[in-house]
Structure 1
Amino acid sequence: MPRALSASLRRALESRASGDANLVFLTIDHPNLAEPVRLVLNTVDMIRDGVTWTAMPFEAALLSDDDQPPTAQLSVPNIDRRIGEVVRGLTSPARVTLELLSSADFDLTVTPHEPTGTPAAFYTARNLYLIEVEGDVQLVQGQLKGWDYLQRTWPGRRANPSQAPAEEPAPEPPPAPGPSV
């Protein structure tokens, strides 16, 4: 199924040269993390939604777009070992979001770069999971995988006594006092 892109956005993305760069914002989140890891594919940190995104030269391949769940490879330099320690220390897959924004939405004359308005992503990939993570002192790599809706059981939840216990019947009232004999 083809993606719906406006004609002007498609021209800008497919042009040989442009005055604006495409910025990739990467969020790695997990319940065990105090706060999400936020990276931007840039040489200078950026501020977005009031949060600083750390500039990092990571590589994220384009997600597959076929009948299978979306997949891609992610490689992040383990520059100061924090990324590797954080990601490898997780006991379950981390949730990942990739967003593409235009540099035209940011003031590139200040450091860190700040938004000039309310930047809007023109491409977003949510609900990806980081699996098969490997790392060494130089590089942390993993596979991004989307949810496979075809493998989901239906119904997703079943009622059983532990999840939906039956109500205890109300106790019967004592018999009404009758006439004494």
Structure 2
Amino acid sequence: MPGKYTPRARANIAATSAAEPLLMLLEIDHADLAIPVRVVGDTQDITLHGELYQACPFECTLPDDVDGQVPKAQLRVDNIGRDLTQWLEASNGGQGATCRIIQMLRSEPDTIQYELTMDLTGLSIDQYSLTGELGFTDTLNLPAVAIRFDPRTAPGLF
């Protein structure tokens, strides 16, 4: 993941009316997909490192940074062509899907300004859009063992 934005990208982030806004790209990947779904939130397709990202309207909030909670983000992609519907039905609701968020400038097509890969969970779809939650598995708060022997689970031992 790139460590920092280029000077041109920082100027665009700080500007109230940027001459060239940052483009947000999404790459949704799953074991049941032959190739990942690649979309860009713009009106024109774009190529990044030899991969074509199709123009598609979507809304994606970047992960929050709240103390004491795992970062979360929200995603809503327009269901254009109904390809996402077919994938979601074939993949058991998209379990195990990941989403790579990329930000870049059109004038610097080979420079990734921001990149983050998160788990895509809680997928729901209707005739208009696919919605889901982006986040990480909270492995630090998972129990160390499947069954703990205490008076509730093993009363005969106590």
TM-score over 0.5 (shorter chain): yes
After TM superposition, what 4+ stretches of structure 1 lie above 3 angstroms from structure 2?
4-11
Task: Determine the structure 2 residue equivalent to 1:173.
Answer: none
Unmatched tracts of structure 2, length 5 or more: 145-158
* Kept after mapping to 2: 8 A contact 1:88/1:133: no
**SS at 1:104 equivalent:** coil
Please name the residue that 1:137 is paired with: 127
Where does residue 79 of structure 1 map in the other structure?
80
**1:94 aligned onto 2:97:** yes
In 2, Cα distance between equivalents of 1:47 and 1:132: 29
The alignment of Structure 1 onto Structure 2 pairs a total of residues equal to 139
Give the match for residue 161 of structure 1: none
CA 1:90/1:5 → structure 2, altered by over 3 Å: closer, same or farther?
same
Q: Flag the 1:136–1:99 CA change in 2: closer, same or farther, 3 A.
A: same
Find the aligned partners of 1:96 and 1:42 in 2 and give their Cα distance.
18
Q: CA deviation at 1:63?
A: 0.9
Q: Are the counterparts in 1 of residues 5 and 114 from structure 2 also a CA contact under 8 Å?
A: no
Q: Aligned residues: percent identity? A: 29
Q: 1:75 to 1:6 in 2, by over 3 A?
A: closer
Question: Cα gap change, 1:75/1:7 in structure 2, threshold over 3 Å: closer, same or farther?
Answer: closer
The structure that is helix-richer by fraction is: 2
Cα–Cα, structure 1 residues 77 and 147, in superposed 2: closer, same or farther, change >3 Å?
A: same
CA distance in 2 between counterparts of 1:139 and 1:80 reads: 11
Gaps of 5+ in 1: 106-114, 155-181
2: distance between equivalents of 1:58 and 1:88? 20
Name the Cα RMSD after superposition: 2.3
- Determine if contact 2:61/2:74 at 8 Å carries over to the other structure: yes
Distance 1:79 1:7 in 2: 33
